[in-house]
Structure 1
Amino acid sequence: MKIVDVSVKRPIGVIMIVIAIILMGTISLKNLAIDLYPEINLPITIVVTDYEGAAPQEVEKMVSEPLEGVLGTIEGIKKVRSISAPGQSLIILEFDWGSNMDTKINSIRDKLDLVTNILPDEVSKPLVLKMDPTAIPIVRLSVSGDMEASRLSNIAEDIIKPRLERTSGVANVDLIGNKEKEIKVEVAPIYLNGYGLSINQIIQVLAGENIATTAGNIKRGDQELLLRINGEFSSIEEIKNLLIPLPTGGTVKLDEIANITEDYKKSDTITKVSGKPSLSFDISKKSDGNTIKVANELYKSLEKIEKILPEGVKIDIVYDLSIFIRQSVDNVVRNLIIGGSLATIILFYFLRSVRSTLVIAITMPIAVITTFNLIYFTGESLNILTLGGLALGIGMMVDSSIVILENIFRYQELGYDRIEAAKEGAKEVGSAVIASALTTVAVFLPIVFVEGLAAELFRPLALTVSFALIASLIASLTIVPMLSAYLLQNKQKEQSKIMSSVYSVYRRSLEWSLNHRKTVVFGTLALILATFALVPMVGTEFLPQMDQGEINIDITLPEGTLLEETDKTIDYIVERLWEIKEVDTIFTSAGSGGVFSMGVSNTNVGNIYVRLVPLSERKRSTDQVMEEIRRLTKKIPGAEINVSQIQSGGFGSSAPISITITGEDLKVLNNLAEQIKAEVEQVKGTRNVINTAEEGRPEMQIIVDQEKAAMYGLNFSQIMSTVKTGFNGQVATRFRSQGQEIDVRVTLPEEYKQDMKQVEDILIQTPYGSAIPLKEVAELVQVKGPAQIEREDQRRKVNVTSDIVNRDLGSITKDIEDRLKKIQIPEGYIVEIGGQVEDMAESFGSLVYALILAIFLVYMVMAVQFEAVSYPFIIMFSMPATFIGIVVGLVVTGRTLSVAAFVGVIMLAGIVVNNAIVLVDYINNLRKKGNKRSEAILIAGPNRLRPILMTTLTTILGLIPLTLGIGEGAETQAPFATVVVFGLGFSTLVTLLLVPVVYTYIDDFEKWFKRKLSFKR
């Protein structure tokens, strides 16, 4: 190999290249984005359409259904879901993985243009949003102070928010809970009726009188002046004294028929931090931003902001995603360093030489730094998966170097000088080393090309391991021979007594195996079959849950509950939460679904965000704390409380189990959902079982008599406009005061909104100049309507969702399926289990395909290497034994077969064959030199035992820190590390005995086959 000769002849050139790589790697590392997970391009978009004041049924019929019909025709669409809630329609469009979402969004907008003209006039223009996991807030701040609420809101709006928005890397800053002033004009129907006026007339007069305009120019001497007519209100007194023309002639002052006050706008939410009222900021980063860098920039901005804030105003950090990311990344780096150190120690134990150990160990940091370069140039980020890939590869990085160094030693023992030994030793095993590395890299190719969430998540890990192995391969073919030629001593130290005993035992075992071939083969087969008895003990799940120490508590009270009552219930729960010693921070929001929720807020819902002390400072896990919270909040009357753990990332289903019931009749759907909910609650391990067909909200329906309305020249739209104005209020104009613009809102007094008889007397202005009471053209009926209506693929649906505790997803799903068989499903209704179960099934399907393809690619690489089909077949016998290790490893550690573990299985397909490649290649070389088969095997086995044990133990020990799963974020890497450690360990034990035995069987078969062919000729 020329690369070996050049490296040995030109050491200065190699050193200069290494220094250049280190410099570039340092720069690349500094500029790499750091995040928790790789960037995920979810093929999901949301279309949001507002229809103010409309009930869910009206939103469904007038907005959701038309939009679903036209959007469902877009090419590549997988699923169309909709939520019709009071005043709003949400259409969720899910496309095939790999779709170009920019193109799809353009198609959505084109389709929307076709239907917007048939939507009601009151409907807003549909807003198209791309589902972006990185758009979730990375930081939440709270602002509190001992001052009037409006002044605190002004400080937050005018001082804090603009400076936060200017911070480098910040994409969006949302202010929540701010108080805005307004001038409220409450017009009593009794006065309107008495004067023959309507609300709309009051609005028109206010808007018409509060005007400032220009009337042209006027000359005054040599100057030309602008002639301006200023009719704007300068005080509230002017508004009170505004004259309203009467239909009968004359006027009346506005304050004689209305109560005019300066007040706060009705708040949708009440936010508090640790029980104290506050405002809050949700801050999102740009999609290509570095979370840790953006958070650091925000802290710098906060330092500057705090210096200019009035005394008494305090800013607290409620939530900071960068803290967990930093802890997780630091934990992986720590594990990587520990793993590398353990691998170096095992190298020294075998090599018994500082120089030899240094020759191999130096390739690890060089390969790592080279990998940083490749990660940077491919546009990936540093996250727990790419760093996990580095930690996974840290032990394998030295495999190639070990094999080459061992062969260099052998050539030195044969009498070659250091330089010739370095050249010949590296070149002899170079092709085998390249084949071994390529088999490992080959298994990752299918992961790169398959589609789905699993591929999106683990493709960067596959790339990182591949980069690391290719970098280490190049280092082993260049740096190792070069350093060996100038650093190694010709005299090698004698091996330890322990290793001498190991070699002796192995040689005797190998000799026995060759004499008892059937026993070895059937014994291995029996072990594999026996392992199947352990398979039921291995659970399945989508992705392991990380312990971030953050808990989300959703509170739902009966529909119609006032916001203030919801806030009181939340305060009571917060008092109970402070009894838990692990609680560090509590943020509450009455009237909102929480930090990460998607949906419509309501006065009867609330959210509590709980942050626990760091993992290192508490003995209990987040799951255990959640169980205590459930116990403390179990008996709160009228409250439905859902306690869940917050998981960053924003991908996958929100609930582990989501059972979808589709049909048309809401009553039937709700009845089925209640039956299913009751059955699911009986399954061990289920928690927070919820029927999403929430209790119907009491509502007053206004049924317009079309014939009577037509007699007065009125239509439905005109009647509803007046009623909506009376109840929701309408901003007639804006009043300037002290540099601020304050809305002037005309509405009915609160007491009139609560009295059905008063509502019936609301005056409706007719085109003929007269006003009639609402009861003349409409009837008021009290009913109970649905809180929201969900649809999927143009059919109504209801979901029953559940979290899981202390059991795996697969076994719980099986129990639920068995229980659902008891329920009689009416014709035309369909029940399906989805949620993370569906995500898991899709991902496992993709990964099974990737595994089959990976095995095939590994075989092809080996066939090219050996220029034969039989030897790769022999080597493939090292794979089945990994099944024993995988199952035993998962059972012993109590871990489940997740997507992460499955990726480990795929990796094993490329790793376990490496030892067998080296062994079979050496056996073949010895036979070519004239050794008999059994003699070649008995020489090759012991001679290759040391490099096999070294490569296996460096890989295993390099992964031990990840396998233990200790520290923040370790839950994601632990499953694939566990699978590789146990699978590789068991496979190596079997490879050392089974592969030589299978070699003899295949060799015998080839000889028999050749005899048969020659006999036929």
Structure 2
Amino acid sequence: MYNVWSFFTKRSRFAIILILAILFLGITAIVDIPKESAPEVDVPIAIVSTVLPGASPEDVEKLITNVLEEPLKNSLSDVRNITSNSSEGVSSITIEFEASADIKKSISDVRDQIDISKNELPTEALDPRIIEIEFGSEPVVTATLSATIPQELLYQLGEDAADELEKVRGVSSVSVGGVEKREVAVVIDRNALAQLSLTITDVTRAISAANVALPVGNIQLGDAEFPVRLAGDITDTQEVADIPILSVGGTPVYVRDIARIIDGRQEPTTYSRTSINGAPSIESVSFDVFKSSSAKITTVSKDVQAKLAELQEEGGLLEGMQVHVVFDNGELLQDDLTTLTRSGLQTVLLVTIVLLLAVGWREALIAAISIPLSFLTAFIGLESSGNTLNFVSLFALILSIGIIVDSTIVIVEGINRRLHKLESHEGESNKEREKIKSRAALDVIREFHVPLTAGTMTTIAVFAPLLMVSGITGEFIKSIPFTIIFVLLSSLLVALGFVPMFATKLLRRNKPTTQESLHEEVIVERSSIGKAISSFGNFILMLMWVGPLFPTTRTRIKHNVHEQLGARISRTRDGVVHRIEEWYRMRLTRFLASRESQNIIIVTLFALFAVSLSLPITGAVNVIFFEDTDSDWIFIEAELPTGSILERTDLEIRKAEEILYTIPEATSFVTTVGRTSAFGNITGGSSANARFANIFITLDEDRERESTEIIDDIRGKLSAIHTSQMRVDQLSDGPPSLAPVTITLSGESLTDLEEAATIVERVLEEISGTTDITSSTKNNTNEFVFSINRAEAIAQGVSIGTIATTLRAALYGEEATEIKQLGDDIDVITRLALDTQDGADAFATNETTIDTLAQIEVATQSGATPLSSFVTVAVQPSRSAILHDDGKRIATVSSRLTENGNAVKISTEFKEKIENYVLPESVSVSVGGESEEIDQSFKDMFVALIIGMVSMFAILVLQFNSFRYALYVLAIVPLSLIGVFGGLMITGSPLSFPSIMGFIALSGIVVNNSIILVDTINTQRRKYGSTKSVNEIIVDATTSRLRPVLLTALTTVIGVIPLLFAAAIWVPLAYALMFGLAFATIITLLLVPSIYARWPGKFEE
């Protein structure tokens, strides 16, 4: 490989051309690479959703879930887990496939099996929908439209505005919320039906038969043939009233004679309101704007915002309306890019300043050039491999700065050291000087290309296994190893290919400095700093007076001043470095000569290691998955008992609104009644149900309180509401996750599950750190059950299917036909007026009594007969939902955490406390939620780390051809945990996923330093053989590498400081890296020489 790397130094002009190509391609890649706010999480999950209107959870489980679930379980391959939720009128089956599964084939297999099984479903059930979960398919912009205008006008303006937004370039679709589809309701008078001995089904069939348009054939006229079409279709909603149903005594009876025709919209399933700046909430329409796959999120965001502003201008469609942008992903992405780019530039600046002070401005300039050059090279690879630029990959770029500058420091410091050893002579030509520089560069390449390559490979080896982390977390963080691998490979190319070439052009050979002059320089600087500053000031003052009189002399003096000042700074810096090296040399010599000191250090390290491992176990260091950081958005979710109507849910959520008016930080909020929050669902979607509501709250960016404090405040005030369950949470920077604590109960008896769930709730309430405890068995209700006298029904000549169809049509209505008008498809729905107002309200038809239902007439052999003739009605309890896991019934009890709550500790304490309770024998208990995610993710991380360590060990053995030296290098990695855990405890940061990422990054840096150290010792042993003792060689070699080792640690620690002020999610990572590396550097400079001196091994000279 030496010939490859030396080629760039020997052929510098070609290297310059290559650098220019990298600059062009890299900038192009930065412009073209797709940008997104968060990584695209592709987890193979499919949901099968089936609607059976009006069915109880028990009926949904029996008639839908069980019919579909078992065949899916038996026929699909690569399935990780199947769960289901049977609730009122809806069956939802979630299928999670293995990460290795082909999601397209898996979805196709699901669809094929559903096509087979759906023939066994009730005829009243709607066709199952198969949904592929895509976490990245979130709206670019979410906005609301509100005004104090008639509802129908608001709806129409909302639809028109959506049409305008869809015309924006890059927009694929616009979803409109709070606007119901247009519908024609035929509300039938039940008394009129009884008088005519008709049923609702008769009316439905009559309307359906009247709306027919179809080709009936062809007719031949002469030598031409013409098509014939029956034009019996309804083209106007007013025509519905004139459809004849039957004839009585020769007089037709029309629809209008027995029903009211209401041309309006579907029954509201959701309400939407918006409050801005503390004003009372008013009715609104919401827009979710989605982009096409090829469009840029920031461009679409800006164009959508511009279109909304245009629509609000004078004379525009939305003039005078309130348009409120609730969420703008493009703006968030731009903020993330700006913040992290600023952090990256600050990191480069800090690293450059450190190098400027430590090795000189020329060396610092080379390092500063190498960082963006490495990044540009990496971007070429990232863009070509289909990766995206998001806040996680940007973070990885910042994290890698300290790693990539490591190789550059080694090369630059090595060339600089060699140039200092070579004397410059008077009369030396430029060509001779260039040859000497080139020889020094080539010597450094020859010496360090193997250890630097090995170091890069070991760092890649520890990051690459992160690609094996499973689940949502693995998908979320996979851009980190991808990015760092590309950056590391790029940095190796730059360090060994381009940096030596830069060094031959920029670095200078100074006159060799003796140890005595170095010592004297330091003494002068320390004792006469004030005098020096004064003399320097007088000298500058003299130049200001004399310089203008003698231009030529001024130029010569200026040049001499620069030369003398540069040389003086260089000598001062070298003197300080020399003093540090001599101090270290003296201490290391004494340390290696004292076995007792070494034993004390080794025993102390192992004791500290044991203590540090106990910190997470004892709770001194909190263990969580992803820490709740400050957020500008929070949300409230409300859940009412099963059977709650939309109006009741609306009244409950208004209580929460009243509380929000008292929160000064809440600048605006959007309330949605009849739907769960998309932000509270791990799949990123929401579901419609009248008993749910949510509020999405935007907080003031300039607030004093953090979002966690505001949440605690709101949670405390919401606790006074006892008529519904309410929980508060916030948007997270991390990947989607489950509830922090989830207790799963499994068993066949629903009664036993409910009893066990009640006990589990009680136990969780006793544990400190839990809040917002919810149970899947709560909110149960009652249901009316119609039991059929089969013998009487048969005697009357009526089938059970007819009875069920008639009853469903009466309660929920029945689609009679569809009218196409001006491009819209308008449903015509027949409903029976069961309310006492005889159909005055199309949506109040089922506000009735059981006695009224019993009088609904069914067509029999003897004519229309009331249901009471062959049915009886009873009241029975009904569950709010029935859950399955792997086909077995389960119940879940979940809990959120308070600010100081710890999921792992709560789960452990729960396991201890639950032993004191007697649960039904048929019920088994398992603990999951975030603690389960932590266990799985930490397990995956542990496996990845083990694989990385084994890979590192193999690379080190390959390099050193020795197990001994490979173990010396790796010994520092586990001991660095002392610094990691100690730093987390000192700063109060948790042991979380990001902090483990910091430890992995730390491992790569520490190993690189140790490789260089051991390789230098081995090189010195080859050179001096038996002429020097092993201890002398170790001291000389380690001292010679002191500056690059310290610089690597210093630049990395200082380089991650900007991360502390960027995204709060990465703060634990920064602390883990800073404290861990600082401690690891100290023990590297002590422990590696110590264990090498104790067991040096035989070495060929």
Q: Structure 2 length normalisation: TM-score?
A: 0.86
Match 1:613 to one of 684, 687, 700? 700
What is the letter of the counterpart of residue 56 of structure 1? P
From the superposition, tell whether residues 209 and 396 of structure 1 become closer, same or farther in structure 2 (CA, over 3 Å). closer
Q: 1:509 to 1:247 in 2, by over 3 A?
A: farther
Q: 1:112 is matched with which residue?
A: 114
Q: What is aligned with 2:338?
A: 330
Mapped partners of 1:914, 1:237: distance in 2: 82
Report SS of the residue matched to 2:63. Answer: helix
Stretch moving more, 269-278 or 236-245: 236-245
Contact 1:135-1:286 within 8 A present in 2 as well: no
The 1:289–1:665 alpha-carbon spacing in structure 2 relative to 1, beyond 3 Å, is farther
Residues 847 and 903 in structure 1, CA contact (< 8 A), matched pair in contact too = no
Match of 1:206 in 2: 207
Moved more, 332-341 or 217-226: 217-226
Question: Structure 1 residue 437: deviation in Å?
Answer: 2.0
Q: 1:339 aligns with which of 344, 347, 354?
A: 347
Alpha carbons 2:468, 2:940 under 8 Å: kept: no
Distance 1:239 1:328 in 2: 56
Partner AA of 2:448 in structure 1: V
For 1:142 and 1:713, how far apart are their aligned partners in 2? Answer: 55
Partner Cα distance (1:833, 1:777) in 2: 49
Tell me the distance in 1 between the aligned counterparts of 2:718 and 2:474: 40
What does residue range 46-445 of structure 1 map to in structure 2 within 5 Å? 46-73=47-74, 74-157=76-159, 159-209=160-210, 240=241, 243-245=244-246, 251-252=252-253, 254-274=255-275, 275-286=281-292, 290-303=296-309, 305-306=311-312, 308-309=316-317, 311-351=319-359, 353-415=360-422, 417-445=436-464
* Letter paired with 2:483: T
Contact 1:188 1:257 in 2 (8 A): yes
Q: Distance in 2 between matches of 1:837 and 1:938?
A: 48
Q: Distance in 2 between matches of 1:795 and 1:249?
A: 62
Residues 209 and 132 of structure 1: CA distance in aligned 2, closer, same or farther (over 3 Å) = closer
Note the C-alpha offset of 1:310. Answer: 5.3
Report the aligned-residue RMSD: 2.9
Structure 2 gap ranges (5+): 276-280, 424-435, 512-569, 837-845
The Cα of 1:408 is off from its aligned counterpart by 1.3
The answer (yes or no) to whether the contact 1:183–1:742 under 8 Å persists in 2 is yes
Q: Which amino acid aligns with 1:845?
A: K
1:859 corresponding residue in structure 2: 953
Q: 1:309 to 1:703 in 2, by over 3 A?
A: same
The question of 1:799 aligning with 2:892 is answered yes
CA shift for structure 1 position 543: 2.4
Are 1:780 and 2:867 an aligned pair?
A: no
Structure 1 position 940, deviation (Å): 1.9
Of 443, 464, 474, the match for 2:493: 474
| Shift in CA distance, 502/704, structure 1 to aligned 2, threshold 3 Å | same
1:515 match: 593
Q: What residue in structure 2 maps to residue 937 of structure 1?
A: 1034
- State the Cα deviation string for residues 771-824 of structure 1 (Å, max 9, x = none): 100111211223331122111111111111111122232222222222222232
Q: Could you tell me which amino acid in structure 1 is paired with residue 352 of structure 2?
A: T
Aligned to 1:461: 480
CA distance in 2, matches of 1:442, 1:233: 70
**Cα deviation code 1:58-83 (max 9, x no counterpart):** 11111111211111121221211111
Q: How many residues align?
A: 997
What's the offset of the Cα at 1:358? 1.0
Q: 1:594 aligns to what?
A: 677
Aligned with 1:641 (options 714, 726, 743): 726
Q: 1:706 deviation in Å?
A: 1.6
Q: Is the 8 A contact 1:858 1:910 kept in 2?
A: no
Q: Secondary structure at the match of 1:900?
A: helix
Give the 3-state SS of the residue equivalent to 2:976 in structure 1: helix
Describe the shift of the 1:365–1:742 C-alpha distance in structure 2 as closer, same or farther (beyond 3 A). Answer: closer
Q: Which amino acid aligns with 1:317?
A: V
TM-score for the superposition, normalised by structure 1: 0.92
Please name the residue that 1:956 is paired with: 1053
Question: CA 1:513/1:282 → structure 2, altered by over 3 Å: closer, same or farther?
Answer: same
Which of 739, 743, 757 is equivalent to 1:659?
743
For residues 528-576 of structure 1, what are the alpha-carbon distances to aligned partners after superposition, in whole Å with 9 as ceiling and x for unaligned? 3343453421222222334332112111233333322322332332132
Task: Note closer, same or farther for the CA distance 1:181–1:714 as it changes in structure 2 (3 Å cut).
Answer: same
1:550 to 621, 633, 646: 633
Looking at structure 2, the residues matched to 140 and 721 of structure 1 have their Cα atoms a distance apart, in angstroms, of 41
For 2:863, the equivalent position in structure 1 comes to: 770
1:579 aligned onto 2:662 = yes
Equivalences for residues 618-1017 of structure 1 within 5 A:
618-647=703-732, 651-653=736-738, 655-734=739-818, 742-751=826-835, 753=846, 754-766=848-860, 768=861, 770-806=863-899, 807-930=901-1024, 931-962=1028-1059, 964=1060, 966-967=1061-1062, 969-971=1063-1065, 973-1003=1066-1096
Q: Is the 8 A contact 1:400 1:433 kept in 2?
A: yes
Corresponding residue number in structure 2 for 1:1015:
none
CA distance in structure 1 between the partners assigned to 2:735 and 2:1032 by the alignment: 60
Contact 2:973–2:1006 at 8 Å: present in 1 too? yes
State the distance in 1 between where 2:150 and 2:210 align: 31
**CA distance in 1: counterparts of 2:182 and 2:502, whole angstroms:** 76
Q: Is the 8 A contact 1:135 1:287 kept in 2?
A: no
Contact 2:240 2:255 in 1 (8 A): yes
Of stretches 417-426 and 621-630 in structure 1, the one that deviates more from structure 2 is 417-426
Alpha-carbon distance in structure 2 between the residues aligned to 1:222 and 1:874 = 99
Which of 495, 519, 531 aligns to 2:612? It is 531
Counterpart-to-counterpart distance in 2, 1:66 and 1:558: 27
> Does the 8 Å contact 1:408/1:425 carry over to 2?
yes
Map of 1:10 onto structure 2: 11
C-alpha distance in 2 between matches for 1:527 and 1:985: 15
Contact 1:168/1:294 (<8 A) preserved: yes
Q: Distance in 2 between matches of 1:237 and 1:42?
A: 50
Q: Relative to 1, partners in 2 of residues 1:240 and 1:952: Cα closer, same or farther, differing over 3 Å?
A: closer
- Structure 1 residues 993 and 214: alpha-carbon distance in aligned structure 2, compared to 1, 3 A threshold: closer
What amino acid does structure 1 have at the position aligned with 2:6? D
* Alpha-carbon separation, structure 2, partners of 1:471 and 1:226: 71
The one-letter amino acid paired with 2:833 is: P
Query: How far did 1:638 drift?
Result: 0.9
**Contact 1:4 1:481 survives alignment (8 Å):** no
Change (3 A) 1:539 1:667: same
CA distance in 1, matches of 2:934, 2:295: 30
Distance in 1, matches of 2:230 and 2:1022, equals 108
Deviates more, 1:812-821 or 1:714-723: 812-821
Classify 1:539/1:288 alpha carbon distance in 2 versus 1 (closer, same or farther; 3 Å): farther
Give the whole-Å Cα distance in 1 for the aligned partners of 2:210 and 2:1010.
Answer: 92
Q: Which amino acid aligns with 1:618?
A: R
SS of 1:404's partner is helix
Letter in 2 for 1:710: I
Where in structure 1 are there 5+ consecutive unaligned residues? 1011-1017
